[in-house]
Structure 1
Amino acid sequence: MSAQAYHSLDQLPGTLTVFPLPGVVLFPHYQLPLNIFEPRYLNMVDDAMAGNRLIGMVQSTGGNPQKPDLAGIGCAGRITSYSETDDGRYLITLAGIARFRIVQELDVTTPYRQVRPDWSAYADDLRPEMDEGLPARALLIATLREYAAGQDMDADWSAVEVAPFHALIHALAAGSPFSVMEKQALLEAATLKDRADMLITLLKMDSAGPEGGTLQ
């Protein structure tokens, strides 16, 4: 099943492998390249490739480095590209599918962790086109133009103008120099409009400089 073939929550699994990677947040419909080298996660990729190819990216929140605490909400992605290097690493790309809430971490014998996910609040992640054309789009692009001008950044504005709203939001959320806490807050925003509003706020705060503060 391709990443685009998930149309209902019923298609998503009741058990999910999770990959707690500090500083990395996956968003729905965003492509995340990963370099896998730790043995337990090489094993994780092997098993995912032999199964449904799904891996849940979850932010670690401290605790034991070998088994860190997990944020309550993550995003599942499907492996859409895979290659192996001469030194045994895996280079994969995850395509974000949908967010999930961790209901329970499972007692497993695998070297990697697995959870029971709750997908029920995130059906709209499978239907991003429903939020196209929101008024927030124009404000987000205007704010982005102001931010880029202040940072002396260039952009392909013709591509920005025609990009799907969800693709624009998630590219900005993943690629902008926000803190991990801020990116996690963007992931947890209930709707695409909420995420756009938060992005606008973050861009304005970043443009204002250090005194603008950070999102808590």
Structure 2
Amino acid sequence: MSFTDRYRTTADLPGTIPVFPLAGAILLPRGQLPLNIFEPRYLKMIDDAIRGDRIVGMVQPDGDEAILASQIDGRKPPLCATGCAGRVTSFAETGDGRMVITLTGICRFVLGPELPAMTPYRQFEVDWDAFADDLTPGHGQDEVSRERLLEILKEYLDTHGLQADWRAIKLSSNETLVNSLCTISPYGPREKQALLEAKTLEDRNQMLIALTEQALRELSPGDATVQ
């Protein structure tokens, strides 16, 4: 049984969670997101999560001004309405006071009201119901256009002179492949948020393909062989 198999219905998930706002980073169901935690407020959040249910919500600041405000003076930025919760499945403390953790995605959520919490980090009520299918491993993966995704991935890697572990890719399920590529994709916060909010796995796959095709066109308008 995997770490996230214990969450079978939305009733197994908490009604309130701590959130970690981070631009350009998304977590997806059963995907993994490594994080290097060094700010005191988020070190406290992870400490509390480890002592509790180990659940943390990843969410992006909403808009460039919000991101800038949070970076400059620590103001609370407005947040995107949709995020994804993960379970802390590994953690290690470093000699310089940081914490290196891995979050494994559980389910997306819609933010509700913010709690008037006394903690240095933010906490919100959340609604899971719109994304209940996230709790079913592999939901919708039979509809994924895997061949086209692999074609565009190979073209992108070849164009940038990059290598991939094709054996591991071949063994990956459609869900793992699509969500992993979305998580590590080089696209900006708005594009990452759109990938997160995609209704189905195939919707996310098609969006990732389109973003990659566009990136190739912009890189080499006369040479990219995009179908």
Could you tell me the TM-score, scaled by structure 1's length?
0.91
1:127 lines up with 2:128 in the alignment: no
Task: Identify the residue that residue 107 of structure 1 maps to in structure 2.
Answer: 116
- Relative to its length, the structure with more strand (as a share) is 1
1:117 lines up with 2:118 in the alignment: no
Task: Identify the residue that residue 171 of structure 1 maps to in structure 2.
Answer: 180
Cα distance, 1:135 vs. partner?
4.7
Which aligned pairs between 1:15-54 and structure 2 lie closer than 5 A?
Answer: 15-54=16-55
Unpaired segments ≥5 residues, structure 2: 222-227
1:202 lines up with 2:211 in the alignment: yes
Judge conservation of contact 1:3–1:80 (CA < 8 Å) in 2.
Answer: no
Judge conservation of contact 2:24–2:192 (CA < 8 Å) in 1.
Answer: no
Deviations 1:129-149 (Å, cap 9, x if unpaired)?
232332512221222222223
SS in 1 for 2:96: coil
Kindly report structure 1 stretches of 4+ aligned residues shifted beyond 6 Å: none
> RMSD between aligned alpha carbons?
1.8
Change (3 A) 1:88 1:156: closer
For the residues of structure 2 that align with 1:124 and 1:142, how far apart are their CA atoms?
Answer: 28
For the residues of structure 2 that align with 1:154 and 1:84, how far apart are their CA atoms?
Answer: 31
Unpaired segments ≥5 residues, structure 1: none
Change (3 A) 1:69 1:145: same
Judge conservation of contact 1:131–1:165 (CA < 8 Å) in 2.
Answer: no
**Alignment counterpart, residue 93 of structure 1, candidates 85, 102, 107:** 102
Task: Identify the residue that residue 157 of structure 1 maps to in structure 2.
Answer: 166
Judge conservation of contact 1:58–1:75 (CA < 8 Å) in 2.
Answer: yes
**Alignment counterpart, residue 92 of structure 2, candidates 83, 91, 102:** 83
For the residues of structure 1 that align with 2:6 and 2:215, how far apart are their CA atoms?
Answer: 37
Q: How many percent of aligned residue pairs carry the same amino acid?
A: 47
Cα distance, 1:151 vs. partner?
2.6
SS in 2 for 1:108: coil
SS in 2 for 1:207: helix
For the residues of structure 2 that align with 1:194 and 1:24, how far apart are their CA atoms?
Answer: 19
Change (3 A) 1:37 1:152: closer
For the residues of structure 1 that align with 2:109 and 2:32, how far apart are their CA atoms?
Answer: 17
For the residues of structure 2 that align with 1:184 and 1:106, how far apart are their CA atoms?
Answer: 24
